[in-house]
Amino acid sequence: MKKYLFDRLREISNKIRNTDHILLYLDYDGTLVPICKNPSLAKLSPETKELLTDLSQNPCISMNIISGRSLNEIKKLIGIENILYAGNHGFEISYKQHHWVHPEAERIKPILKNVVKELKAQLNTIDGVLIEDKGLTLSIHYRNVAGKSAKDIEKIIQDIVNPYRETLRITSGKKVYEVRPKIDWDKGKAIIKMQQMLNLKEEILKIYIGDDKTDEDAFKILRENDISIVVGYKKYSKAHYFCKNSKEVILFLRHLKSLY
């Protein structure tokens, strides 16, 4: 049985108090902000922005944001300097003056651009479909679609992507299909790269909070002593703890701040 975060706050707090430094990884959509019908509506509240700023300035915490959004977009949405950002599920990472892009993902960009054009031509006629071109990946949101089933939309995407199946793959999330480079890379591998960019020791305590299937790759590689939290109870999740929603994520981050 997965453990409810706030039932285990004492044991989690003890872990945190007994470490010198924390590596904090935070997803954005569905974690720091609720999922919205249109991704452009998912904005941080001023209070949350202030809380994240305070945590980022704590010398005992290294704060990282890892998101499926493009790097530029997630940096604008958070708007805090001197923290590490990973966009496109970790295909691109930025910390201060350092910028890294997965070389294979960079190579595939022109192919993805062709797919974007073809998808727009076929899907733009369907009311409610939102196509998000993120440079290194592509998202097709269908939360606001009425009349067309998800399977119909998936078939159109598969037909277009199929000729490029050696270099691209399709994944699915919460009312969204994603087209990504077919590369052995995920959020788990990305957080290792992020830690290396920060030049922090492997044994440092990690806290990772996320809500999506893509976050499972990160949960899987964390040690037993680390703190992994999935947002929303998910039976399949490898996270050690769960919380109910993004409001509880913010409550936990406030608690984290109070421990230092």
Which pairs from 122-127 meet CB under 8 Å and 24+ separation? 122/156, 122/160, 123/153, 123/156, 123/157, 126/153
CB 5 within 8 A of CB 243: yes
Kindly list the distances between the CA atom of residue 243 and the CA atoms of 28, 61, 110, in Å, as whole numbers in the listed order: 15, 21, 40
CB 154 within 8 A of CB 177: yes
**Euclidean distance between CA atoms 243 and 129, whole angstroms:** 30
Q: Which residue in the list 7, 27, 159, 217 is annotated as catalytic?
A: 27
Degrees, nearest 5: CA angle 46-49-54: 125
State yes or no: is 27 an active-site residue.
Answer: yes
Q: Active-site residue numbers? A: 27
